[in-house]
Amino acid sequence: MKKTIIAAYWVFAIAGRLVAGEADAPRAFEFERIVIDADFPGGYQVETADVNGDGKLDVIGLGGDVCAWYENPNWKKRIVTDKRHSPGIISSATADLDGDGKAEIAVAYDFEMNQPRRGKLLLASQGEGLDDPWKITPITDLNSIHRLRWGDLDGDGKLDLLVAPIFGPAAKPPVYEDPAQIVAFTSVDVRDPAKWRLRPLANRPVTHAIEILPSFDEIKRPVVLAANNQGVTLIEASNDKAVARDLVPGAAGDRPKRGGSEIHRGKFKDGRTFLATVEPWHGTDVVVWPRKSTGDLEFGPRTVLDDTLADGHALWVADLNGDGQDEVLAGHRGKDHRVALYDYNADSQSWRRTIVDQAVAPQDLRGGDVDGDGKPDVVTIGGSTHNIVLYRSR
């Protein structure tokens, strides 16, 4: 495990274009960079969750047919699934479903971009000891399965599993027109997959990312945000009938290079909500959509923080320095890959970019208070760079 200190400089975003600041500009943020795994081929997704019930957030990484978890704080690696169980692995979602103090992990696998009828879901449960093999329970086949998230969608106090396929079963390149059907599994029972109930939520073309929130401003019930070729969609799923509405259109362009690719909600220091996105699908732009006012859910104008991403594929939002203002972190996996941070300056009404790390080709970004100091930390996983890296806030 390698540790280094990252102290990065501001770069100012003006009118949606990046302009370098003076060489002696003040340092905006400082991180301790901890390499959790320097040899994880094909890394695709990372998350943080308390796997072993000790109250500390562990790290779960997947890719290359493997799902593994890393125990906080020594980061010992343990395999959850491998090629025998999860070929074509694409996503995971970790939570303690039965209250026994040990988390279960839902795993999406058998994904193939241009074979959208393929896709499978399993549930992995821990053995008696930390080093014992995990029990693998097949759940179902689900076409083009791509993103998983746990959340209480119906407000009954129990976790449901949100599943977002990326395409519909008849989708074909180059435009992938058949829309994906976002669904949720309710009545989740660790012991009996037959009790799981599938609930359709919404259909949208090329659905790439999802986020579950317990509420959304005046909407005091759980909602889902989905980034897709129509932009960002909000889904209210707590009633018998799910209601979906498109909030913003995302980037203009020809399908499938249009709309949104990643989505998270953030807040300004004055309490206003914004939507943070990467646009279009696997796109070039880091974008913020401020909410216009209370009342109608209207967002705009489209504010481009950065238009230099190559195959953008990672996004996170968090208040890293505790000033009440959320920062945006984004990453791309293509040429000149990097993780970057965007911080809003209310006085100048501009966003400043901080280059965090250029030694990782990020496929995913997640966060949480990993070291228990009350400050959010950030974890990323690099595909072509084969690494999992923790950025500890200092």
Q: Taking residues 73-82, what's their average pLDDT?
A: 98
pLDDT of residue 1: 67
Model confidence over 78-133: pLDDT tens digits? 999 999 999 999 999 999 999 999 999 999 999 999 999 999 999 999 999 999 99
Residue 101 inside a domain? The answer is yes
Residue 82 inside a domain? The answer is yes
Residue 13 inside a domain? The answer is no
Residue 18 inside a domain? The answer is no
Model confidence over 289-326: pLDDT tens digits? 999 976 789 999 999 999 999 999 999 999 999 999 99
Q: What pTM value is reported for the model?
A: 0.93
pLDDT of residue 270: 93
Please check the confidence at residue 141 and state whether its pLDDT lies above 70.
yes
Model confidence over 153-175: pLDDT tens digits? 988 899 999 999 999 999 999 99
Residue 279 maps to which CATH number? 2.130.10.10
Model confidence over 14-32: pLDDT tens digits? 333 333 333 233 446 899 9
Give how many domains the chain has, as a whole number.
1
Band (6; pLDDT cuts 50, 70, 90): low
Q: Residue 310: which domain range? A: 31-393
Please check the confidence at residue 244 and state whether its pLDDT lies above 50.
yes
Better-scored residue on pLDDT, 9 or 29: 29
Residue 12 inside a domain? The answer is no
Please check the confidence at residue 384 and state whether its pLDDT lies above 60.
yes
Residue 4 inside a domain? The answer is no
pLDDT of residue 155: 83
Which CA distances in Å does 191 have to 97, 108, 121, 384? 10, 19, 15, 38
Residue 264 inside a domain? The answer is yes
Residue 1 inside a domain? The answer is no
Q: In a 10 Å sphere around its CB, with 0-12 CB exposed, 13-18 middle and 19+ buried, how is residue 194 labelled?
A: exposed
Please check the confidence at residue 146 and state whether its pLDDT lies above 50.
yes
